[in-house]
Amino acid sequence: MKTRFEMGIVTDIVLPLVLAFMMFTLGLGLRVSDFGRFLTQPRDMLTGLAFQMLLLPLVGFLLVSSWPLAPEIAMGVMLIAVAPGGVTSNFLTALAKGDVALSVSLTAVASLLSVVTIPLVLGMAYQQIVGEALAGEISIGKTAISIFLIVTVPVAIGMAVRHFMPGLTSRCAPYATKVSTLFFVLVLAGAILQERENVVAYFAEAGLVTLALNIIMMLLAFLGARALGSGPAQRVSICIECGLQNGTLAIAVGVLIFGGGAYVIPAATYSLIMFATGLLFLALARRKLVPVSQAV
């Protein structure tokens, strides 16, 4: 069994460093022009961000408000609902013949906006679910600063490295992506292992609600994007972006604010579920939803 000192090292040092490296890897794949997609694809960008940053937390809150959940599990669902998309969504979008450039841009912008949206939404949700405001030591301001340091700063450094050292970036980026994926798996496994004595009960309690959140959101994103006039490839990108969240960030914020425990279990269950539903959607997208001639 891990001592308090060992757990402190993992949660206070290792986890933030892992997340920072993953965000640095995201930055290696970005250009400044990716943030200018508001000018070239304003409808698709606004649609994707509205679904990701507004509709997803709303759906999550409606689910936890109507589902008989412990407050810790309910807040854990909100953690994953406010997390932006991750690097995995960009990779799956490419396999599904979606608009990869749009996916990358949505991930980048949503990640930067999360500095504001995560503490703000979680603060409001906590007050509604638990019935009291977040304590001063885990205030919105402190949380925002922490997210800024482990999300925004590494992304900016990654972009700077790509800009000033393109040759090095092209050689190292593929390896960095693989290492980032490995880190994600280790964090996910660690979150489950930490609560191994209660994991079956937690999965029983959090599994269905996180599955519902994932499926409902992917359906709403795909159908909503189609109703708003997005093309086939763009619909695929928006759907995947709203279905595959940054589980590592959700776990890190859960540890930062609540100390981990049951709060991070929904992020762990969602991270497992989203790969299954994402791969199913990938198969459908490649066969029926998006002809290759339209997606390229």
pLDDT tens digit at each of 296 positions of the chain: 443 333 444 455 666 777 788 778 877 877 777 777 777 788 999 999 999 999 999 999 999 999 988 888 999 999 999 998 877 787 788 888 888 888 888 888 888 888 889 888 988 888 888 876 665 445 566 677 777 887 788 888 888 888 888 888 888 877 777 777 777 677 667 666 665 666 677 677 788 999 999 999 999 999 999 999 999 989 999 999 999 988 888 888 888 788 777 888 898 888 888 888 888 888 887 776 544 434 33
Tokens, residue 123:
């603060």
Q: Domains for the chain: give ranges and CATH numbers.
A: 10-286 (1.20.1530.20)
Separation between Cα atoms, residue 170 and residue 278, nearest integer Å: 28
Tokens, residue 50:
């509205």
DSSP 136: G
Amino acid identity, residue 221? Answer: A
245 - beta bridge partners? 85
Q: Where would I find the H helices in 29-85?
A: 37-40, 42-50, 56-66, 71-82
Separation between Cα atoms, residue 292 and residue 296, nearest integer Å: 6
- Residue 254, C-beta contacts closer than 8 angstroms, at least 6 positions apart: 76, 79, 260, 263, 264, 267
Tokens, residue 208:
């269905």
In 3D space, the residue among 193, 195, 186 whose CA is nearest the CA of residue 262 turns out to be 195
In 3D space, the residue among 16, 18, 40, 54 whose CA is nearest the CA of residue 143 turns out to be 16
Q: Where would I find the H helices in 130-264?
A: 140-147, 153-164, 166-194, 199-227, 232-243, 247-258
Tokens, residue 53:
């940053």
Separation between Cα atoms, residue 181 and residue 232, nearest integer Å: 28
